[in-house]
Amino acid sequence: MEITEVIFAYGHRNIQATHKSTLEITKEKQLSKKGGCIIAVSTDKAIADLNPEFKGSLRNENAKMTMLIEAGGIVEVVNAFGCRRLILTHPTDTVVRKSSYVCNRTLAIKADKAAWDLSRKLVERLRNPKQKVKITLTVEV
C-alpha cells in the first residue's frame, strides 16, 4: 500500500543545507543563517497537517518513505523509514533524520541523506526566494 502527500514551499536566500544528520522544511517564512538543516520555507503544510492515514502508515515499523524534492528542474530523492514512536504533531516544522531520534517534529528516521548530502546545484536553486519547491512524500507499507 502506498500513500502520497505533496507539500509546496519556497526557497530562501539564507538556505545553507549544511547539517550532516537532518533536513527540515518549515512553514516559517524567515530563516537565519543558523538554520543549517532547513532546505525550504513557507510550506503549505507542516507535519501536523498531514493526512491521518498517511501518518498512521508512517507509524508502521515496516514503513519506507521516499521524499522527492523538486526545484528548478532538479530532482533529489531521500529515502527514510517510519517508526511506531513517531508523534507527528509539530505545527510548523517537518524534519527527516539520519538518526533514530524522535520528537514531535520528526517525520522519518534512518534517512540516507541529510541537508549536507543534497546536490549543491539543488541547494543553489533553493537559495532563490522565488523558487517554488515541490516535495512529494510517499509512504509504502
Longest dimension (CA), the chain: 39
Domains of the chain: total: 1
Give the residue among 122, 141, 140, 129 at the shortest CA–CA distance from 69. Answer: 122
Interval 50-70: pLDDT, tens: 999 999 999 998 999 999 999
pLDDT score for 32: 87
Q: Report the alpha-carbon distance of residue 11 to residue 43 in Å, rounded.
A: 10
Grid coordinates belonging to 3: 500513500
Which distant-in-sequence residues (6+ apart) come within 8 Å of 117 by Cβ?
A: none
pTM of the model: 0.97
Say if residues 127 and 115 touch (Cβ distance below 8 Å).
no
Residue 20: which pLDDT band, with cuts at 50, 70 and 90?
very high
CATH of the domain at 86: 2.60.120.630
Q: Which domain holds residue 110?
A: 2-140
Task: Please determine, for residue 98, whether its predicted confidence score (pLDDT) is greater than 90.
Answer: yes
